[in-house]
Structure 1
């Protein structure tokens, strides 16, 4: 399976989509994705403060003085976890398959100018999430430059 993200239009906005397949149950993967102690290890700027219910808040801190929150818009354990982070929408869905569970991660946003940078970041974060799901030690790969080049080529110059 191709683990690279794709960029497409969604309701007049831009959406980055990534897919991963894990040899675990949806319940196991959903728990890792929504556990605040694990979420903070793979999701950028997460503080570990999460009220896991529809309308619940997820707290973020960029470490440079900006604090903000996301609002959980959809929560159906163990199938969907979605939230609005400022103007962006993050949607994570899990579907059982014969060999485990397929996770689809979609980030919907307005300005595609930096899509190759955003894709690079999510690719790396989802690689770390995969490590956590598999019970492995976290190692942030040194592949940002290579990924930026790949996504820049794949998405073309967007202005």
Structure 2
């Protein structure tokens, strides 16, 4: 069973008053290694999705989510709003005509390891239950890639985390 305790996301208010789903994960690997796993297209593809394009601030990339469960999907357009290697990445992911998903990753050193803070600004009317289990699973996949561990099972993660995010 997936532990939802310290690895679960929480809803906080951003400085603009909007709801933000925030995850805090501690990794044994150094900041540079976690940064590489998040931003290198080949490493990112192992846990989240493959991207190609201009990854500099103001640039756009095409992202295809990958997983053992579905093998990927249609590409999404990602606008890179901020990129400060190896500590901060802010992007907007747009799928179709909907409101973009505003995402950020911040990395800080923690001894020889790293603290990763992942945030999604929740669009108005969007429930944490609609995103929490998925981000929980993807962040567990990142941890598995970094540690060389088996990938988490989506169905088990969903069953364990969905009640937590429904409140």
Normalised-by-shorter TM-score class: 0.7 to 0.9
Residues in 2 aligned to 1:107 and 1:13: alpha-carbon distance in whole angstroms: 10
Residues in 1 aligned to 2:51 and 2:63: alpha-carbon distance in whole angstroms: 8
Give the root-mean-square deviation of aligned CA atoms: 2.1
Equivalent runs, 1:1-159 vs 2, <5 Å = 2-10=6-14, 11-43=16-48, 46-61=49-64, 66-86=74-94, 87-141=100-154, 142-153=156-167
The runs of at least 4 aligned residues of structure 1 exceeding 2 Å deviation read: 40-43, 60-64, 111-114, 135-141
Normalising by the residue count of structure 2, what TM-score does the alignment of the two structures yield?
0.79
Task: Point out where structure 2 has 5 or more consecutive residues left out of the alignment.
Answer: 66-71, 95-99
Task: Point out where structure 1 has 5 or more consecutive residues left out of the alignment.
Answer: 154-159
The 3-state SS of whatever aligns with 2:103 is strand
Normalising by the residue count of structure 1, what TM-score does the alignment of the two structures yield?
0.83
